[in-house]
Amino acid sequence: MRDVLGLGELHAEVTRKAIKHVHPSVPPPAGKVRVAAPQTMALDTIRLFVITKLAWIRSQQRKWQGQRVYFQMSFNAWRRRPGHRSPRHGRSTASPVHPA
């Protein structure tokens, strides 16, 4: 279950989980605010928690705003392809090496 808290210009995405404590996060590069909260916690209580963490949230957003994004690649781009030569071992990763 996902809710969105609106606190003026700040919007926080709230995800309800089977956890005991509230966990705020501000992941890079966009600096969107996410909050993982217990399923039974009232939305007003979560709102008060986010208000008490506004200074930390703003500092995290400033930190991500000042950093450059060098590249954005999907996970699949980093996977090895069949027949790819491994620079570390000098052998193909397509066929397994069996000890003789």
Query: What pLDDT is attached to residue 3?
Result: 82
The per-residue pLDDT of the chain, averaged, comes to 77
Q: Which strands form 10-17's sheet, in the order they lie side by side?
A: 2-7, 10-17, 33-38, 23-25
Q: How far apart are CA 56 and CA 54, in angstroms?
A: 5
Q: What's the whole-model pTM score?
A: 0.61
At 60, the pLDDT band (50, 70, 90 cuts) reads: confident
